[in-house]
């Protein structure tokens, strides 16, 4: 019986100490909630100038400015590259058109020259045939004489 009483007293002491600890934690929680609410109200009523004067704001602002300027430079480079690409493309297209025109002119010139050479060849063959016939006639006349 005494053992149970001692155990009961120990458990009561333990329960009392835990209850005191729980009450203390509950008070701390209530204080933290009140502090949180005060900070929320203070944050809502915080003037814009106070935010702009903080180091974090100034660092973010300078980083933003750097990134914005860098993006403008990259955009300018992109525009220049596009313009160069377009100019190069147009130049190549003109060059190709010029080469095609030159090729067409050369083909026409070659056709004309081939036709002239074929005419000349036909004329030379006729002359050759006439000379051959004349030669054979002269040869036959010489053999008879």
pLDDT in tens, 34-56: 999 999 998 888 888 888 889 99
Q: Average model confidence (pLDDT) for the chain?
A: 95
Q: What is the pLDDT of residues 96-136, one digit of tens each?
A: 999 999 999 999 999 999 999 999 999 999 999 999 999 99
Sign of CA dihedral 58, 64, 66, 68: negative
Within-domain flag for 32? yes
Within-domain flag for 40? yes
Split into its structural domains, the chain has a count of 1
Sign of CA dihedral 127, 130, 136, 141: negative
Supply the pLDDT for residue 58: 95
Within-domain flag for 9? yes
Within-domain flag for 10? yes
Read off the pLDDT band of 22 (50, 70, 90): very high
Distances (CA, A) of 132 to 15, 49, 139: 144, 116, 10
Within-domain flag for 128? no
Within-domain flag for 51? no
Domain region containing 18: 1-46
Neighbours of 34 (CB within 10 A): 10
Whether 25 contacts 31, CB under 8 Å: no
Within-domain flag for 42? yes
Within-domain flag for 89? no
């Amino acid at each position: 019986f005494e053992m149970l009483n001692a155990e009961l007293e120990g458990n009561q002491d333990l329960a009392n100490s835990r209850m005191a600890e729980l009450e203390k934690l509950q008070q701390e929680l209530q204080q933290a909630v009140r502090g949180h609410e005060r900070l929320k109200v203070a944050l809502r009523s915080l003037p814009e100038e106070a935010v702009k004067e903080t180091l974090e704001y100034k660092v973010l602002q300078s980083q933003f400015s750097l990134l914005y300027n860098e993006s403008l430079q990259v955009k300018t480079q992109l525009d220049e590259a596009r313009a160069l690409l377009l100019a190069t493309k147009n130049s190549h297209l003109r060059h190709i058109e010029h080469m095609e025109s030159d090729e067409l002119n050369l083909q026409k010139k070659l056709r004309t020259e081939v036709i002239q050479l074929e005419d000349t060849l036909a004329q030379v063959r006729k002359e050759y045939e006439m000379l051959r016939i004349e030669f054979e006639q002269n040869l036959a006349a010489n053999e008879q004489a």
